[in-house]
Structure 1
Amino acid sequence: MAGFARRIVAPALLGTALIAASGCTSIRESRGYIVDPVLTGAIQPGIDNQRSVEGTLGRPTFTSQFGQPTWYYVSSTTARRPFVQPRIDEHSVLAVRFDAAGNVVAADRTGIEQVVYLSPDGAETPTLGRERGFLEDLFGNIGQVGGIGPGAQGPTQP
């Protein structure tokens, strides 16, 4: 009877341990642009323009608002264990810069080495200026909105 119990209990315990261990594996998620090395390698400075880049890579993740026109394609792969904050495993940014005519000037690739991890100091963001209390926030604008400012004329009388 002891040999029979060993044959049944040992595999059952092993199976339970494997099932429990599989619940602790990382969950991988891709976020942002899905990088295709063939397509990103096809972007050639001096040959491509904004229309051909959009046709090849699709719409960018975001574009520059100031300075030289640049399109950014951002991609991240995260790994997360159950009930734990996700962490970035892979990160890449493809920055396609254009000249004023819309032609590609350069296509630069950067990776996770350019990522900056910020550690906030407490739960509040420090600001410049004076501290205001609750009542000052509540009643501080009374008389400020709609009042007669400098150079404005009051109501005219007939």
Structure 2
Amino acid sequence: MQFKHARKIRNTLAILGLSVTVACAATYTNHGYVPTDLELENIVVGTDTRTTVAEIIGQPSSTGVLSDGAWYYISSRIKYYTYHRPETIERTVLAVSFDANDKVSNIERFGLEDGRVITFTRRVTDSGVQGTGIFRQLIGNFGNISAEQLLDE
């Protein structure tokens, strides 16, 4: 009878230990799509257009803001580990640029190892005034105001 009781405790502890070990394992998620080098071989720089690129490798994840802007294909691999902040361990950006005639002018691939920062979304309004404090702006405007402007209503 004690042997059965000891076996249940041992099995329970083994299941509990295995559960803790599995719960502490990192999980990974993949987001986005970047065409392979084999797929990119079908695109001819200087010949293919936006339409043919879309037919060959599909529509992009993001596009440039200008009418002749580049197309961006983006993929990321993110690691989640217990209570730690998610960590992007791999990111690939494929940029397909077009010229004024809507033909492919360049194909570039970037990754985290390239150390290139590409901002796709920016929610900051730029004031256009850089490196100038409020005091310098006030003093700088002294010579720009004439007596006529002050007296003229």
TM-score tier (shorter) = 0.5 to 0.7
Residue 59 of structure 2 aligns with an amino acid whose one-letter code is G
**What is the Cα deviation at residue 52 of structure 1?**
1.7
Residue 64 of structure 2 aligns with an amino acid whose one-letter code is T
Instruction: Provide the residue aligned with 1:53 in structure 2.
Output: 53
Q: Take 1:131 and 1:24, find their aligned partners in 2: how far apart are those partners?
A: 52
Counterpart secondary structure, 1:12: helix
**What is the Cα deviation at residue 110 of structure 1?**
2.1
Instruction: Provide the residue aligned with 2:143 in structure 1.
Output: none
**What is the Cα deviation at residue 40 of structure 1?**
4.2
Matching of residues 1-158 of structure 1 within 5 Å: 1-31=1-31, 33-37=32-36, 39-55=39-55, 56-63=57-64, 65=66, 69-115=69-115, 128-130=131-133, 150=149, 154=153
Contact 1:39 1:57 in 2 (8 A): no
Contact 2:72 2:94 in 1 (8 A): yes
Q: Take 2:23 and 2:45, find their aligned partners in 1: how far apart are those partners?
A: 47
Counterpart secondary structure, 2:20: helix
User: RMSD across aligned C-alpha pairs, in angstroms?
Assistant: 3.2
User: Whose helix fraction is larger, Structure 1's or Structure 2's?
Assistant: 2
Counterpart secondary structure, 2:73: strand
Unaligned runs of 5+ in 1: 118-126, 133-148
Q: Take 2:83 and 2:61, find their aligned partners in 1: how far apart are those partners?
A: 32
Q: Take 2:105 and 2:116, find their aligned partners in 1: how far apart are those partners?
A: 26
**What is the Cα deviation at residue 43 of structure 1?**
2.8
Are residues 9 and 30 of structure 1, via their aligned partners in 2, closer, same or farther at CA, if it must alter by over 3 Å? same
Unaligned runs of 5+ in 2: 118-129, 136-147
Contact 1:28 1:79 in 2 (8 A): yes
**What is the Cα deviation at residue 116 of structure 1?**
5.4
Residue 33 of structure 2 aligns with an amino acid whose one-letter code is I
Q: TM-score, normalised by structure 1?
A: 0.63
**What is the Cα deviation at residue 26 of structure 1?**
1.9
Are residues 89 and 75 of structure 1, via their aligned partners in 2, closer, same or farther at CA, if it must alter by over 3 Å? same
**What is the Cα deviation at residue 90 of structure 1?**
1.3
Residue 132 of structure 2 aligns with an amino acid whose one-letter code is G
Instruction: Give the length in aligned residue pairs.
Output: 126
Residue 3 of structure 1 aligns with an amino acid whose one-letter code is F
